[in-house]
Amino acid sequence: APCSGSGTWRRNPDLKWQFNPTDLDEVLAAQKSILQSAARLVKPGGRLIYATCSIFREENEMQVDNFLRNVNDCDKNLSEFKVVCAKKIWDKNTHSGDSENVSYLSIAPHKDGVDGFFAAVFERNATKPK
């Protein structure tokens, strides 16, 4: 998804001075729109991956929470989506938690020495809505 690119600021520090709160609002709106549009294309039982190179909670965990709340509660044309546990997909130790139920893949520059990255995998309910 389009994002702030905050996960790359470690190697491109000048970018953080070019990004402002208005830019963040625009990026958040674009992310929301893209997720809602893409969700309509996912077949029952299919998956949708949401990924950013951001370390901001607003673009990552909060965007995922908002998507799930809106798509599952408000849009009756879509069957329910859930987040697939990251540990079940990537055999990698993530920094979102140490349990087997880590919801997202989250990589941080200060912990992993690489660009920041976030990914969530949604899976659409296998049954069609009535």
Report the SS3 class of residue 76.
coil
Helix axes 21-39, 61-73, angle to 10 degrees: 40
Please state, as a whole number, how many other Cβ atoms lie within 10 Å of the Cβ of residue 122. Answer: 21
Closest CA to 105 of 64, 45, 71: 64
Q: Note whether 36 and 70 are within 8 A (CB).
A: yes
Give the catalytic positions in this structure: 53
